[in-house]
Amino acid sequence: MRPPPGHEERRSIVNGNLVVMGVSLLTWAATFFYLLRLERRIKDLEKP
């Protein structure tokens, strides 16, 4: 059985999680704003 992580190891795990969380949030924000822009364009095309 693996021993529980030490102080340094735990800090690097936390930092790694924060990086993954940041990347996930950035990806979601980029996707969302791209979709909003796409919706605006479609709205323009829908105008007769």
Partner 1 sequence: MIARGLLFVWIAVWMVLGFVWAPVVPVLGDTTRVLYFHIPAAWVTVLALAWSMIQSVLYLAKRRMEHDDHAAAAAELGILFCIVATISGSLWAKAMWGSYWNWDPRETSIFFLLLIYAAYLALRSAVDGEERRARLSAIYSAAAFVAVPFLMFIVPRIYDSLHPSPILPSPREKGSMDPRIRTVFLAMLVGFTALFWWLLSLRTRFARVERRRLDAAAAGA
Instruction: List residues near partner 1 by CB under 8 A.
Output: 13, 16-18, 20-21, 24-25, 28-29, 32, 35-36, 38-39, 42, 45-46
Nearest approach, Cβ of residue 7 and partner 1 (Å): 17
Smaller CB distance to partner 1: residue 7 or 47? 47
Q: Which residues contact 17 (CB under 8 A, 6 or more apart)?
A: none
- Residue 18, both tokens: 């924060």
C-alpha dihedral, 16 to 20 to 25 to 26, nearest 10°: 100
Distance in Å, CB of 19 to partner 1, minimum: 11
